[in-house]
Amino acid sequence: MARGDVLVPSAAGWYCPAGDFYIDPQRPVARAVITHAHADHARPGCSTYYCAAIGAPLLALRVGVRADIRPVAWREPLALGRTEISFHPSGHMLGAAQIRVAASDQVWVITGDHNYGAVDPSCDPFEVVRCDVFITESTFALPIFRWPDPAAVFADIHHWWRSCQQRGVTCVIPAYPLGKTQRLLASLDPACGPLAIEGSGADYLPTYRAARGGPGWDCERMTQADVARVKGRGLVLYSGAAARPAWWEQLAPYAVARASGWMATWKARRGGREPLARGFVLSDHADWPGLLASIDASGARRIGVTHGQVDAFVRHLRAAGFDAFGG
């Protein structure tokens, strides 16, 4: 890193000396600027949190409703120290933001987790923000990761669902409670059969309902009373922890499928606690072409890489002529 850098890596996360704040700090700090409410980005204990307004209720569920959370509207400039920051959608989940930091004639953007170019009705799409320095996540920054069109993936899921119904088999898709569960809910067709959410994914629905509307959102957290309605015809988004509810086996026979970017790899399709009926490639992170396109669109020549395949991506970007660094 060089003197005068707007953001610098530190033990607690990305720090902005000119604004005296951290982005997604990994331990309690005075001023935290949060990209999104996933647990690896938003931790409790900070004195003040700044986040995109639309995601503020989700952050409150993560860090505590008594936390000092300052919601900021998309694109609204906010002065912090000698900087001006703003929040711009990253397309990763509801309220997930890229943070633009302008200081001393430079503009830096840090993406948080992002899903450049994705079609995801549960959140705002990635917004291109031109900058001098672009710090991107790199979860799937390998050329093997190329996502199919989500519309085709959902057509496959619906086809699988119908074929299970014909055999009286309940469909189960384990899904991360915040983000993936709601993305699936937003795109699954409730006319195909009953939809249910088992586990904590239901806790986030009121916020999504208020922000996005949509046909599947009147789903409630599943209880034993729903078993008869769902068994053999329904699709259950399972977002619970390790312990399944006592009535779970009453859903049998059931088939389990996963929907994730990792399903693009053979190893992930084979792993897990039970044999998978299907693996659907559906990611909340950009694929390899998406990552490259997001860098191009930013206009930046200096690229920071974080959160994922850091070393490999830095090497690739340097070979392509960028001034790339890991952090």
Binding region for Zn ion (CB under 5 A): 38, 40, 113
Of the pair 31, 285, the CB lying nearest Zn ion is at 285
Angle at CA of residue 185, ends 180 and 187, nearest 5°: 100
Closest CB 24 distance from Zn ion, rounded Å: 8
DSSP state of 115: -
What type of residue sits at position 21? F
Closest distance between Zn ion and the C-beta of residue 307, in Å?
6
- In eight-state DSSP terms, residue 240 is -
Q: Give min distance, CB of 180 to Zn ion, in A.
A: 10
Q: How far is the CB of 37 from Zn ion (least distance, A)?
A: 8
Question: Closest separation between CB of residue 301 and Zn ion, Å?
Answer: 25
Q: Which residues are registered as beta bridge partners of 250?
A: none
Phi-psi group of 83: left, alpha or beta (phi > 0 → left; psi -120 to 50 → alpha; rest → beta): beta
**Could you give the CA distance from residue 232 to residue 313 in angstroms, rounded to a whole number?**
45
Task: Return the number of the residue (96 or 317) whose C-beta is nearest Zn ion.
Answer: 96
Determine the residue type at 307.
H
H/E stretch holding 291: helix 288-298
CB of 286 vs Zn ion, minimal distance in Å:
12
Cβ–Cβ < 8 Å for 65, 207: no
Structure tokens at 285: 């992170």
Nearest to Zn ion of 178, 292 (CB atom)? 178
In terms of CB distance, is 96 or 230 closer to Zn ion? Answer: 96
For Zn ion, give the closer residue by CB, 112 or 279.
112
Nearer to Zn ion by Cβ, of 38 and 43: the residue is 38
Listed in order, strand segments (DSSP E) in 240-321 are: 254-259, 278-280, 302-308
